[in-house]
Amino acid sequence: MPPPPSATAGRRSPFSALLLYVTFALVILLLLTSYSPSIPHRGRSLHRRLKLHPRNPSLSGAGAGAPTGGNGAPQQQQNHHHAAPFDPEIAELERRLEDKEWEREHYRILHGDGGGGEADEHMREWEEFLREDEDFINDDERFNLGDRIRALFPKFDLAPRDGFASLDELTRWNLEQSGADQLHRSAREMELYDKNGNGVVSYGDFRAQHNESSGEVNSLGFPWWKEEHFNASDADGDGFLNKTEFNDFLNPSDSENPQIINLLCKQEIRQRDKDGDGKLNFEEYFHGLHDHIHGYDDENADISHIGNNTVAKERFSKLDKDSDGFISEHELEPVLDKLHLSERYYARQQAAHAISEADKDHDGRLTLDEMIENPYAFYGSVFLSDDEDYFHDEFR
């Protein structure tokens, strides 16, 4: 006997219930998909848009050296340091933007014109280049970070070529990039002084133009633009500076020219030599130098011991190689990098930071896979988050 109609009206078959559930789930899924933000293809994370950060050309030419500031910290650390990009292709794009900005800022100097409409045209071109270049580096089909790292890895995995990127290898790579960046800026600035375009600059040419545009501003903490500094940069002694020598002149802290290194040491002695004997006794060292170089032979040194007289005497003795009770200019050379932080310092800092970010097995070195899986540890220098100040801004 069949059940009454009232008993079957409120019941559904198991198949009908299942069909209803599946339909409902599909509708919810479609709604979520239609309102979700699009996921960037090939693994580029949300909010991670690469941006170019060309250096302000008006700040170039001040030299890379950094003296110690009044609070004991190097001035280069107090100011913003602009590091070269990890990827040479990024560096080339930034240099192109810098060159366009340089043309705009120095049009009047280079061409003797008041600027006006020409300067505005330069700005429009600069903004167009910026848009195009940033679109390019954020297009994974044209600029894929994994592919870029694969292409670059063999160029720094050299000593030894063992399939790992060590701290020293990454430091050397970073230093190569910063050196190329620095040389490009120096060559561009040299155009201001090389009026006849013969590829060299005399001190007279430099001084005349420098007095008009730059005054005595530099990052060394003392006047560097004197003739003795120019002559020290003149490695071949011909009375002129070529492109390489001019780069050394503008960036003395990064120079390997022995004459420049010796002159920087002399300058440091002069600043602290109270009795004028051309060297530092312990008191002059303790009150003028010790707090700046404490820990130069031990990166983990306890800075709470800076004012400790016993520790200071130990440091003084290490520097005083001939044990005559004084520190000479030659004995100061091993700690010159502590007084004027060079690109070598920042190259190592960047390498250490990248390893700390990407070294997942904590063996102190990086495999190719670790680098590919953590690309922003290397491209962070051109990366800005949309919603936060992300990734090691002190380097850019």
229 inside domain: yes
43 inside domain: no
Q: What is the pLDDT of residue 27?
A: 59
pLDDT in tens, 167-180: 999 999 999 999 99
Binning pLDDT at 50, 70 and 90, where does residue 98 land? confident
Gap between the Cα atoms of 343 and 179, Å rounded: 8
192 inside domain: yes
Sign of CA dihedral 331, 333, 339, 344: negative
With a threshold of 0.85, does the pTM exceed it?
no
26 inside domain: no
128 inside domain: yes
The share of the chain scoring above pLDDT 70, in percent, equals 66
- What is the extent of the structural domain holding 136? 88-258+356-382
Domains held by the chain: number: 1
Sign of CA dihedral 161, 166, 167, 173: positive
pLDDT in tens, 201-258: 999 999 888 765 444 445 555 567 889 999 999 999 999 999 999 999 999 999 999 9
Backbone conformation region of residue 204, classed left if phi is above 0, alpha if psi is from -120 to 50, else beta = alpha
DSSP 8-class letter at 71:
T
161-192 core/surface letters (b: 16 or more CB in 10 A; e: else): eeebbbbebbbbbbbebbbebbebbbebbbeb
319 inside domain: no
* Top-confidence residue, 125 or 390: 125
202 inside domain: yes
239 inside domain: yes
Cβ atoms of 239 and 230 within 8 Å: the answer is no
Binning pLDDT at 50, 70 and 90, where does residue 77 land? very low
